[in-house]
Amino acid sequence: MAGAILAIGNELVEGRILNRTSFWAARQLLFRGYEIKEINTIPDEPALIEHYVKDFLNRYDFLIVSGGLGPTSDDLTNAAVARALDRQIIRFKEMEKRIREREKAYGLPENPLRLKMADLPEGAELLTDKHPMAGYFLKLKEKLLFCLPGVPEEFEFLLKEKVIPLLEKFLPLKGIFLFKLFKLFGLNEAEVNLALEGLERQWKNVSIGYYPCTPEIHVSLRIKGSQKEEAEKLLDKVSQKIKELFGPYIFGENEDLLEGVIGKLLLERKETLALAESCTGGLVASRITRIPGSSAYFERGVVSYSNEAKIEILGVPEEDIKTFGAVSEPVAKAMAEGVKKLAKTTYGIGITGIAGPTGGTKDKPVGTVWIGFSCKDGTVAQCFLFPGNRHTVQDYAASTALDWLRRYLRYGTLIPGYQFTCKH
């Protein structure tokens, strides 16, 4: 089954908001065997909306439209969809009731503009049972049209809880489609390409792809078959081969996050972590605390951006900073040891570097980052030279610190080998 995604909004085409939901949705659908053939982003222009709705529904089995369902004057999707399908716009009394109840519950005055969300194409079926959240679908002979809100949280909820079950009900897949995603860190794209070269040709009905998701590399594996047991065996066989190829560079599968993998390992071992961050500005701590329950293993994070903070809070020797500079091995070690001692945790990590775009020198160019790691086996530090702009350097530094901890927790690796390690 093939479909398309149409994202609507001036803010998307003007670059004011990044369209992440379309690509997230495509991956969620691929996990379940539904292939997205096209993703298009267009402005809030009724004629364009009408054109693409007609075109995509003519060529694909289903269409997911996002955005333009709200109460404001630039929310034009419902009317355009109705024209594309040659249907009337009608007032959905149930939706009107939910909107009014919501206003009362939050102590809001009745606003006639909100009722625009209750004016839907004839034949629409609401995707929510009680909530006034925008979102509906239409059954069009053998095809399905879904109209979802552009708000990412609402879009993601409805896609997982409503859209996918409806697809499986009305457009069941013919045959077996299995999908697995491997997430790698520490290799570059060229190395992954070389390792995978020719692998796909070893098996029929196997599709292997890879793509950068900076600073990670993702390897996708898709299996087609007629028998579930046979397809599952093939998936296991090819998965094992990929694991053999990339070994410790694989940190997770499918929906795994690096910070989530670390959280599970720390919980299993009943161990704790503290962070001292300089150039990453709390990015590592932010990622760790995205995971529910992280308070069980994450004790604290210190953003020691200035030299004074490193000295006063973490106990970094002032002489080390004067002699070696803030971006150096002794300082990274002292930061890791200092925060570990301060927080009384199992592990301490210190990060200090030059994220750019200024501040680099011949000996320490932009992208130079020292990461210190302190544990029961001692304290070590490594120098890295990360590519890209300021944000990319910070992302690489944060992921490297997290992955270093993962490798130690899983393999006992005190000095991991990465391709972006400096020679010192």
For residue 397, how far is the Cα from the chain centroid? 17
**Mean pLDDT value of segment 333-355:** 98
Asked if the peptide bond before residue 112 counts as cis, ω within 30 degrees of 0, the response is: no
pLDDT tens digit sequence for 209-232? 998 999 999 999 999 888 889 999
Q: Are 311 and 305 in contact (CB under 8 A)?
A: no
**Mean pLDDT value of segment 268-274:** 98
CATH superfamily, with its number, for domain 258-411: CinA-like (3.90.950.20)
CA distance 197 to 85: 46
Which two three-digit tokens encode residue 165? Answer: 């079950």
**Mean pLDDT value of segment 27-45:** 93
Q: Which long-range contacts (CB under 8 A, 24 or more apart) does 408-416 make?
A: 408/347, 408/373, 408/375, 409/262, 409/265, 409/266, 409/269, 409/271, 410/248, 410/265, 411/248, 413/248, 414/373, 414/375, 414/377, 414/378, 414/380, 415/380, 415/382, 416/186, 416/248
What is the DSSP secondary structure assignment for residue 315, as one 8-state letter?
Answer: -
Residue 326's pLDDT band (cuts 50, 70, 90) = very high
Q: Where in the chain is the domain with CATH 3.90.950.20?
A: 258-411
| pLDDT at position 420 over 90 | no
CA distance 249 to 50: 46
3-state secondary structure 387-408: CCCHHHHHHHHHHHHHHHHHHH
Average model confidence (pLDDT) across the chain:
94
Q: Where in the chain is the domain with CATH 3.40.980.10?
A: 2-170
Q: Which long-range contacts (CB under 8 A, 24 or more apart) does 158-162 make?
A: 158/127, 158/128, 158/133, 159/25, 159/28, 159/64, 160/28, 162/127, 162/128, 162/135, 162/137
Q: Where in the chain is the domain with CATH 3.30.70.2860?
A: 176-253
Which residues lie closer than 8 Å to 33 by C-beta, 6 or more apart?
Answer: 1, 173, 176, 177, 178, 179
End-to-end CA separation in angstroms for the chain: 54
Question: Which of 6-10, 108-112, 270-274 has the lowest average pLDDT?
Answer: 108-112
Residue 198's pLDDT band (cuts 50, 70, 90) = confident
Residue 182's pLDDT band (cuts 50, 70, 90) = very high
Q: Is 213 helix (H, G, I), strand (E, B) or coil?
A: strand
Where in 9-141 does DSSP place strands (E)?
35-42, 62-66, 89-91, 119-121, 125-126, 136-140
Which two three-digit tokens encode residue 164? Answer: 């996918």
Report pTM. 0.84
How would you list the strands of the sheet with 176-184, edge to edge?
A: 206-213, 216-225, 176-184, 250-253
**Mean pLDDT value of segment 342-366:** 97
pLDDT tens digit sequence for 115-137? 999 999 999 999 988 877 889 99
**Mean pLDDT value of segment 62-78:** 93
Report the alpha-carbon angle 285-291-293, nearest 5: 105
Bridge partners of residue 370, in order along the sequence? 352, 383
Residue 74's pLDDT band (cuts 50, 70, 90) = confident
H helices within 289-389, ranges in order? 307-312, 318-324, 329-343
Q: Within a 10 A sphere around the Cβ of 257, how many other Cβ atoms? A: 15
| pLDDT at position 424 over 60 | no
| pLDDT at position 341 over 90 | yes
| pLDDT at position 418 over 90 | no
CA distance 282 to 355: 13
CA distance 333 to 420: 19
CATH class of 2-170: alpha beta
Instruction: Give the torsion sign (CA, 192, 193, 198, 201).
Output: positive
Q: Which residues of 42-75 are buried (b: 16+ CB within 10 A; e: fewer)?
A: bbbeeebbbebbbbbbeebbbbbbbbbbbeeeeb
At the topology level, CATH places domain 176-253 in Alpha-Beta Plaits (3.30.70)
pLDDT tens digit sequence for 273-315? 999 999 999 999 999 999 999 999 999 999 999 999 999 999 9
What separation in angstroms does the CA of 306 have from each of 157, 312, 321, 411?
42, 10, 11, 34
